[in-house]
A and B are shown apart, each in its own frame.
Chain A
Amino acid sequence: MKYDVVVIGGGSSGCRAAKANAAKGRSVCVVSAGLTLQATKPESEGRVYADLYELRKMGVAVLRGDTVLSGSWDGAKLLEVHTSNGLTLQADEFILATGRFFSKGLVSTMDTVFEPVLGADVDFPSDREKWFNADFFAPQPFEQIGVRTTADGHIFIKGEAAENVKAVGKILGGERHAKK
């Protein structure tokens, strides 16, 4: 199935990206693994940017309860992604909006942090002791952990910038989660 844009993740950032692209007349598909804007999240500070119904009315294809498992690449170009319901989605442009640790956009183990869907490069301090600050309300270093991007938001795969994949939202890191 071919779209102009495939958005991976149907949270606030994913829905906003989908809405912006659909408003430009592009064909858009959103893959939403679970969390959606229809449920109010404290992180979205009560703002509702676009709910899934609004997107459907704009002609956006919404896949709820589906998960992107992997992607097929041609060099630095992402050709298609494969979902848990057995769909193959092709697109000119992909937007990675899977969020951070809670939504499993990033996964941490004892010694590493990785991005599980496409394997994007993630910046994190190599010394685990430096991931957190003992003072709970102080800025937490782990809040700065996010995928590495170019100046215009393209992700890196094994050190090489991806041609047609951008990251948006919390997966970029930098939000003061604990303080909120």
Chain B
Amino acid sequence: MQKNNDSFLNFEACLKCSICNTVCPMMEVNALYPGPKKSGPDQERYRLKDPAFYDYALKYCLNCKRCELACPSGVQVADLIQRAKLQYGSRSKHPVRDAILASTDFVGTMASPFALIVNSVLPLKPVKAVLDGAFGIDSRRTFPKYSSEKFVTWFKLHAQKEQEKYSKFVSYFHGCYCNYNYPQLGKDFVKVVNAAGYGVHLLEKERCCGVALIANGMEKQARKQALINIESFGKAVEKGETILTSSSSCTFMMRSEYREILDLPTEGYRDSLFLACKWLYEKIESGEVKLKFKPLKMKLAYHIACHMQKLGWQNHTIELLKMIPGVELVVLNQKCCGIAGTFGFKKENYEYSQAIGANLFADIKEAAPDAVVTECETCKWQIEMGTGVPVMNPLSVIAAALE
């Protein structure tokens, strides 16, 4: 959007039209949340005067970015709220819980070697009761499973050598979910990119993008990890490699939030970092890549994750899925699933999270698909828990349809 003046995140451009309030999913279910207009541009004036005006109800913001999409004046409403939370927010009542939820790299590294034990112990009722009582992680929540072999370990053992037979390469930012929880996603990524005639390189160093750290107020750690990633991106760009990802929220974090919330430089790599589906569609469109698909008899419902809509690349995925013969595709109305990363895992937020998700669950049940397709892994957990319908990343669908 066009900038209208030089105020911090354009907050003075707010006309108080309240369109952002009409699209906020949290406002619909939670009377304690003052809404994006008040939390963002309105209260920013007060906060600048005196930090004591900071409203603790800002913790309810999901950072879904709908307010920014709806704003006719280009106010970065959600960014204003995120920055206020980092700058003025007080310490959490559950610092240990928040650190566990946000430190995906640390927890993943610890859990992977004991995946069998962790996976069988976590769903047990007494364990859940302890997590609920002592840490405030809601016992009604289904936890994601850990994988005993990390994606990176698999890649180095079974795939890295083969990659060298290609002459063109992309770099892959796999993300924590792929690495610790679901390496099959990374395997599917490698299969699809190889089929397109490109080899896969890992980044020199990769850390969690930090989206969960920001959401939990751990700015310092997020900055540290972001700087490591940015350095690796720079090296990949120097080699002339495009950096591809499979998760929408990581991508959005690294392309936009590093700059808007952490004030870090993104110019060096921003135009070389894409979701794999966007990259693949453009390669097919330009005629450089030709993929052969076998028929896949499936009814798929595509859920546009909030950050995916903010990225604006959903049409690439939709067009790719349409290329697969036999696929019946329904595009769901863009509604928030309510989990918002770590938000829905917290005991105090569980009810809100499920109330927001209910709208989407109803739509999915009505569409009755064989699988829901989405780029976001936390949406996946929420939708699978809420509807029982399996959720796939589009890359996994494409990999399954490759001849």
* Chain A residues within CB distance 8 Å of chain B: 1, 29, 33-36, 38-39, 52-53, 56, 61, 63-67, 83-87, 102-104, 116
- Interface presence of B323 (CB below 8 A): no
Whether B1 contacts A67 by the Cβ 8 Å rule is yes
Whether B22 contacts A38 by the Cβ 8 Å rule is yes
User: Interface stretch among B64-72, B114-122, B202-210?
Assistant: B64-72
Tell me if A's interface is mostly helix, strand, loop or mixed. loop
Whether A63 contacts B315 by the Cβ 8 Å rule is yes
Residues from chain B with Cβ under 8 Å of A84 in the complex: 1, 312
Whether A61 contacts B19 by the Cβ 8 Å rule is no
Tell me if B's interface is mostly helix, strand, loop or mixed. helix
Least Cβ–Cβ distance between B263 and chain A, in angstroms: 21
- Interface presence of B334 (CB below 8 A): yes
Whether B313 contacts A65 by the Cβ 8 Å rule is no
Least Cβ–Cβ distance between A104 and chain B, in angstroms: 7
* Chain B residue at minimum C-beta to C-beta distance from A62: B334
Whether B315 contacts A35 by the Cβ 8 Å rule is no
The CA-CA distance from A86 to B70 in the complex, in Å, is 19
- Interface presence of B331 (CB below 8 A): yes
Whether A65 contacts B22 by the Cβ 8 Å rule is no
Least Cβ–Cβ distance between B235 and chain A, in angstroms: 23
Residues from chain B with Cβ under 8 Å of A35 in the complex: 19, 70, 72
Least Cβ–Cβ distance between B360 and chain A, in angstroms: 12
Q: What are some 8 contacts across the A-B interface (CB < 8 A)?
A: A34-B73, A39-B22, A61-B318, A65-B68, A67-B1, A85-B311, A85-B313, A116-B2
Whether B72 contacts A83 by the Cβ 8 Å rule is no
Whether B333 contacts A56 by the Cβ 8 Å rule is yes
The CA-CA distance from A179 to B73 in the complex, in Å, is 24
Whether B315 contacts A1 by the Cβ 8 Å rule is yes
Residues from chain B with Cβ under 8 Å of A63 in the complex: 312, 315
9 more contacts with CB within 8 A, not counting A34-B74, A63-B312, are: A33-B72, A34-B1, A34-B19, A34-B71, A56-B331, A64-B69, A67-B2, A103-B72, A116-B2
Whether A102 contacts B68 by the Cβ 8 Å rule is no
